[in-house]
Structure 1
Amino acid sequence: MSVPLVSRVSTLAMDCADRIAFWEEYNRRELVGLTCSSYSEDGLLATQTNYRLGGLRLAEISGNEHVIQRTRRTCEDLPKDAVFVSLLTDGQAVFFHEGGCLTVRAGDIVLYDTRRSYLFGFPTRMRQLLMDIPRELFAERCADREVSAPLLFDRGAAATALESALSDWAAGAAGEDPAPTEETVLDLVRTLTAPRAGGRSALLAMARSYIDRHLTDPGLSAERVAAAVGVSPRHLSRVFAPSGVSPARYLLARRLARAHEQLGDPGSRHMTVAEIAHRWGFAGQAHFTRVHRDHYGRTPGAVRPR
């Protein structure tokens, strides 16, 4: 099951003189209103692909050296009420804002408010994964406080987990791997922005993210998850305890949910129940049928599209 593709564009085949205007108009329509400048002799050479995951949007952007800016006037004329989470995967950047300037390196994450003016400059070739979180959703699921200034995160535990989730989102959108869930991504953003992102909440978010990224591995177990996040199986159980489910039950529920979703997907009608069960890590069809009936009250065959 692929992540819904919203749109994909590139300036590479366009006349050099038309690229900037095209890029600004596309971003105004699909992402955020901005102005763009390119200092390359070749002009702006950039591509952008936009995907959707529930109420979230992800933009995968790559290009040569350029600058994008959202001025106070732009914020007034083209309002955007969202929080952006930008992961720079290649290159380097500078992020100017009202209170100063951030130096951004590959692997860093910048979280900022689109209602405030900023300038994002890329002096080298670049690639970024940019997550668009509506402000209401951010306040409800991530943090109920204002993002009064941009936040820069380097490779800590929570940032690394979010980086993996966003990369998996892009890979899942390309059909290469299962994509993370909206809940997983928002949990990681909440952990990242928490005052102390190194305790049990960070471990829980990392464990859930690891499970979602490896659901198709039939050998995945609570012990494997504990080893991946660097704790003992007993401690991992304590981390999951406040959520009301054990790591093993969470793993089973996530596998059931993804298999159930694919069973009802018309695009998967060519796959048998056994093939879907195997894809999502179940050892056999009989076991899958039993736990699916116990959980959903119906057999897997009963939810197949007619």
Structure 2
Amino acid sequence: MSLVLTTDSVPERQKLDYWRTALSRALVPMTVTPHGAGRPFSGRIVSGRLGYLKVSAIEADAQRASRTAAHIARSPDAFVAVGVQMRGTATLVQDGRRATVEERDIVVYDTTRPFSLTYPERFSTRVVHLPRRAIGLPDEQIRRVTGTVIGTADGIGSVLMPFLATLVASTHTYSPAVAGKLAATVVDFFLTLVAERTRPGEAGPDSPPDGARRQLARRIRDHIDRNLADPALTPAAVAEAHHISVRYLHRVFEDEGVTVARLIQRRRLEESARELARGGAAAPTVAAVAQRWGFVSPAHFSRVFRDFYGRSPVEWRTGRGR
């Protein structure tokens, strides 16, 4: 369900305060300063959820939005934001980087570190907030793309821009099961973006050639998907099934943007969420779903499910909070 926040019916003297609250509610707490003091101000946000992602479509007059260390201390929401500049331009500043955002560019920033976005004219943007816990990358890898602008003329940007723009505009049309799969796809796109923006280092003696690595990684992913229900599915078991060492397994996946253990857990959670979202009188119990997808106990399943999706399996099954 989408939430629409607009200044249209707000008295002029209250518009800016309303907008600051609306922007902080839909995104993360920030300070907002309009450009052009004394001018009438207007803004509109349509926000919602796509599975475990927060999505927002924003159109507003010129302004500067900034998130400071004080904001982060009071509200340490851990997201990576991926925005698509639909109209107008912007300047992003984070981690000492200053990037100019043109129309149709993709911009990436981290809400756990201070940043500012300056829009010198009326603008339109679409923003997706990815929970850091769903990404599963160490901070140093995430920093390779945050505080930067991604061009969309070629590479992953040319695919990601229209996908995100359409996705945010149509969030309310997806069923919970489809929304969960689309959220996972967005995360996979982001992981691919990180991998694309990472310069490969010197190949060590344990590094497989690129072609062989990709083929082996695909086989391993297929093996994981076929064996998700097995509680004994671990990195060690995966390595043994493919007659390689655990160290070599990690080398194969070092450019995949996710560890093998995290991949196994994420795929189990995705399949569990899909099954729970069916609902209805015949909906399986939480314990049955936990057992079917290889979790060691319902209590462990409930804990990691809440950590990943932000709500319990029971709430997910009944549709509460979505």
Report what 1:70 is aligned to: 67
Which of 91-100 and 23-32 deviates more?
A: 23-32
Report what 1:229 is aligned to: none
Distance between the aligned counterparts of 1:137 and 1:160, measured in 2? 23
Describe how 1:37-56 pairs up with structure 2 within 5 A.
37-40=33-36, 41-56=38-53
Distance between the aligned counterparts of 2:28 and 2:75, measured in 1? 8
Offset, 1:20: 1.7
Report what 2:161 is aligned to: 163
Partner amino acid, structure 1, of 2:147: P
Describe how 1:133-282 pairs up with structure 2 within 5 A.
133-138=130-135, 140=136, 143-146=137-140, 147-148=142-143, 149-155=146-152, 156-173=154-171, 175=173, 181-195=182-196, 244=222
Q: 2:112 aligns with which of 110, 115, 140?
A: 115
Distance between the aligned counterparts of 2:112 and 2:190, measured in 1? 19
Distance 1:52 1:11, change over 3 A: same
Distance between the aligned counterparts of 2:86 and 2:190, measured in 1? 17
- Contact persistence 1:191–1:197 (CA under 8 A): no
Distance 1:162 1:239, change over 3 A: farther
Offset, 1:238: 11
Structure 2 unaligned regions, length at least 5 = 200-214, 224-270, 281-322
Distance between the aligned counterparts of 1:37 and 1:239, measured in 2? 48
Aligned pair 1:29/2:25, yes or no? yes
Distance between the aligned counterparts of 1:115 and 1:239, measured in 2? 31
Partner amino acid, structure 2, of 1:145: D
Q: 2:102 aligns with which of 95, 102, 105?
A: 105
How many percent of aligned residue pairs carry the same amino acid? 22
Report what 1:202 is aligned to: none
- Contact persistence 2:98–2:147 (CA under 8 A): no
Paired residue secondary structure (1:194): helix
Paired residue secondary structure (2:125): strand
Partner amino acid, structure 1, of 2:20: E
Distance between the aligned counterparts of 2:198 and 2:166, measured in 1? 22
Which of 112-121 and 16-25 deviates more?
A: 16-25
Q: Which has the higher contact order (CA 8 A, sep 6+)?
A: 2
Distance 1:185 1:15, change over 3 A: same
- Contact persistence 2:50–2:171 (CA under 8 A): no
Distance between the aligned counterparts of 1:174 and 1:135, measured in 2? 23
- Contact persistence 2:65–2:117 (CA under 8 A): yes
- Contact persistence 2:82–2:128 (CA under 8 A): yes
Distance between the aligned counterparts of 2:218 and 2:113, measured in 1? 38
- Contact persistence 2:109–2:115 (CA under 8 A): no
Distance 1:196 1:242, change over 3 A: farther
Offset, 1:44: 2.7
Distance between the aligned counterparts of 1:190 and 1:135, measured in 2? 12
Partner amino acid, structure 2, of 1:184: T
Distance between the aligned counterparts of 1:81 and 1:94, measured in 2? 22
Report what 1:300 is aligned to: none
Aligned pair 1:58/2:47, yes or no? no
CA displacement 1:10-30 (0-9 Å, x = unmatched): 012212221121122223333
Distance between the aligned counterparts of 1:244 and 1:79, measured in 2? 36
Distance 1:174 1:137, change over 3 A: closer
Offset, 1:100: 3.3
Task: State the TM-score, normalized to the length of structure 1.
Answer: 0.59
Which of 75-84 and 87-96 deviates more?
A: 75-84
Aligned pair 1:89/2:83, yes or no? no
**Aligned Cα root-mean-square deviation (Å):** 3.3
Partner amino acid, structure 2, of 1:164: P
Distance between the aligned counterparts of 1:89 and 1:240, measured in 2? 35
Q: 2:8 aligns with which of 9, 12, 30?
A: 12
Partner amino acid, structure 2, of 1:106: E
Structure 1 unaligned regions, length at least 5 = 199-236, 246-256, 267-306
Partner amino acid, structure 1, of 2:29: G
Task: Give the count of matched residue pairs.
Answer: 208
